[in-house]
């Protein structure tokens, strides 16, 4: 069993008493281990929402940060003022400074803490450097995503500053979370900069399971053109994904397109939404 509660994301949906922001945070419960916090939004808002949702973050089994953009990591600083989670999972590439660079305009997009700050707090930081890591029975972190198609390309103005030069961000720091259930995989994505279809196909490959029960989270389709949207929808159908919970950077237009094409398979996974898969 896996229960996923969206603590915060871009839209309130029907939950008008909760805060929304450009960010993402999931509270994940299973019957095989302690609860997991997957991303922390961009600030304190997720803490306020957690209280409203009667979620007690003092008993977390782990925190996972999907990648190092501010809208997924900014809340960690505020969480650590209240809670010291026993494990913090990040990619081995997590601490590379991230930027958006367009012409002369440069904007820092990375997290608001340094590794030294976390180490001073004696956190158990686990730097994921393998493509598949089981963090509790039936719950896995996956990374090292491969380009499996011709329509999911990182062609946006995202850069890292490495060895005194600007380098296109390859998002090697991106992690996804996958649960194995009796009726297939449940895949949780932060932003899917690597491409949501690439992520799904990676999960299917490394876990050797063809059935995909659900994909939930950011799919980075905001601003995607018609060709990419068409091919993404076609791939979701070909993979027979049963449930598609669109959030965050999927974008409203892309979410409505997927809903039109895929029908009841698609739901808008807004702030306060809870889903359970057994």
pLDDT at 155 over 80: no
pLDDT at 53 over 90: yes
**Residues in a beta bridge with 142:** 132, 176
For residues 193 and 206, give the distance between their C-alpha atoms in angstroms, rounded to a whole number: 19
Contacts of 69 (CB under 8 A, 6+ apart): 98, 109, 110, 111, 191
Q: Per-residue pLDDT averaged across 70-80, rounded?
A: 97
Q: What is the mean pLDDT of the chain?
A: 96
Q: Per-residue pLDDT averaged across 90-99, rounded?
A: 96
> Residue for token digits 């600083």?
77
Given a contact cutoff of 8 angstroms between Cβ atoms, the answer to whether 2 and 276 are in contact is yes
Count of helix runs (H) and strand runs (E) in the chain: 7, 18
pLDDT band at 70, cuts 50/70/90? very high
Given a contact cutoff of 8 angstroms between Cβ atoms, the answer to whether 185 and 179 are in contact is yes
> Residue for token digits 């949906």?
13
Q: What integer pLDDT is reported at residue 119 of this predicted model?
A: 87
pLDDT at 124 over 80: yes
pLDDT at 48 over 90: yes
DSSP annotation of 49 reads H
pLDDT at 156 over 90: no
Q: Per-residue pLDDT averaged across 19-34, rounded?
A: 97
Contacts of 254 (CB under 8 A, 6+ apart): 219, 221, 222, 224, 229, 246
Alpha carbon separation from 75 to 25, 98, 112, 179, 234 (Å, rounded): 9, 17, 9, 24, 35
Q: Per-residue pLDDT averaged across 10-24, rounded?
A: 93
Q: What integer pLDDT is reported at residue 13 of this predicted model?
A: 85
Half-sphere exposure of 42 (CA within 13 A, CB side): 13
Q: What integer pLDDT is reported at residue 149 of this predicted model?
A: 92
Q: Which candidate, 57, 224, 72, places its Cα nearest to that of 154?
A: 224
Q: Would you state the torsion angle of the CA atoms of residues 147, 150, 151, 157, taken in this order, to the nearest 10 degrees?
A: 60
Q: What integer pLDDT is reported at residue 14 of this predicted model?
A: 86
CATH of segment(s) 2-277: 3.60.15.10
Q: Which candidate, 20, 17, 11, 77, places its Cα nearest to that of 46?
A: 20
Q: Per-residue pLDDT averaged across 169-196, rounded?
A: 97
Q: What integer pLDDT is reported at residue 138 of this predicted model?
A: 97
Q: What integer pLDDT is reported at residue 213 of this predicted model?
A: 98
For residues 251 and 257, give the distance between their C-alpha atoms in angstroms, rounded to a whole number: 10
For residues 121 and 91, give the distance between their C-alpha atoms in angstroms, rounded to a whole number: 19
């Amino acid at each position: 069993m896996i229960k996923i509660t969206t603590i915060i994301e871009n839209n309130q949906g029907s939950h008008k008493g909760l805060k929304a922001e450009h960010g993402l945070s999931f509270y994940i419960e299973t019957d095989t281990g302690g609860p997991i916090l997957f991303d922390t939004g961009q600030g304190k808002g997720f803490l306020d929402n957690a209280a409203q949702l009667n979620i007690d973050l003092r008993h977390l089994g782990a925190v996972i940060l999907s990648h190092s953009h501010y809208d997924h990591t900014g809340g960690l600083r505020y969480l650590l003022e209240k809670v010291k989670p026993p494990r913090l999972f990040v990619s081995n590439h997590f601490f590379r400074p991230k930027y958006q660079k367009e012409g002369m305009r440069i904007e820092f997009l990375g997290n608001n803490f340094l590794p030294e700050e976390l180490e001073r707090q004696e956190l158990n930081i686990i730097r994921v450097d393998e493509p598949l890591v089981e963090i509790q029975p039936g719950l896995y972190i996956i990374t090292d995503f491969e380009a499996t198609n011709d329509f999911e390309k990182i062609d946006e103005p995202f850069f890292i500053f490495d060895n005194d030069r600007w380098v296109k961000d390859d998002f090697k720091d991106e992690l996804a979370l996958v649960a194995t259930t009796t009726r297939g995989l449940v895949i949780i994505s932060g932003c899917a900069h690597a491409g949501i279809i690439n992520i799904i196909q990676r999960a299917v490959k490394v876990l050797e399971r063809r059935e995909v029960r659900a994909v939930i989270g950011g799919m980075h389709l905001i601003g995607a053109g018609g060709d990419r949207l068409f091919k993404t929808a076609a791939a979701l159908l070909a993979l027979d994904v049963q449930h598609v919970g669109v959030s965050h950077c999927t974008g409203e237009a892309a979410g409505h397109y997927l809903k039109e094409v895929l029908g009841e398979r698609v739901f808008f996974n807004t702030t306060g939404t809870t889903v359970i898969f057994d």
